[in-house]
Each structure stands twice: as C-alpha cells, then as structure tokens.
Amino acid sequence: MATLHTLNIPDELYQQLQELAKAENNSIDTQVITILQNALQVKTHPTEEERRKNVPKLLEEISRRRLNPADFGLPNSTELIREDRDR
C-alpha cells in the first residue's frame, strides 16, 4: 500500500478532520481514506440523473452507427430468409 504524506494542512481543517474521525469512531488515516474514496467515486461514477440525460445522445450515436448491408453491396437478410423459406 502506498503512503501519502500531506503537508501544510490548515489547523482548522485538521481539527474538523479529527472531530469527524472521532464522531465516526475512525482514525484520522481511515477517515482521510474514506473521504478520498467517496470523492473519487462521485467523480468517476455518474449519477442516475446524469445517465438519464445521456440517453438521447446515446440513442443518436447508436442510430448513426447502425449499418445498412446494402451500403456494402450485401444482400438484405430479410430477402435471404424469405428465399430460404421458399425452398
């Protein structure tokens, strides 16, 4: 596990950190790790609301990526299935 040393923490901030750690029955180290994990999780994982906002963009991107076989000179799969059923 890596060691992180921080310097020049304002006294007021350190006091708040001590009080929070004591209130949650944690050491200061554990409390700092918890705060960092929570902060990073918020930044890296979008909320449900953010995901819902992205849905129209995703649907538009999907429709743009949709390939038409005819664009590549390939036969239509529906026609191939019908042809196969008619045999």
So what's the pLDDT on residue 42?
Answer: 66
Q: What span, in angstroms and rounded, lies between the C-alpha atoms of 80 and 76?
A: 7
Instruction: Kindly tell me the burial class for residue 55, based on how many C-beta atoms sit within 10 Å of its own C-beta (0-12, 13-18, 19 or more).
Output: exposed
What pTM, to 2 d.p., does this model score? 0.48
**pLDDT confidence bin for 84, thresholds 50/70/90:** very high
Q: Which residues contact 9 (CB under 8 A, 6 or more apart)?
A: 17
pLDDT tens for each residue of 42-74? 666 777 888 888 899 889 988 888 777 777 888
Q: How far apart are the first and last CA of the chain?
A: 67
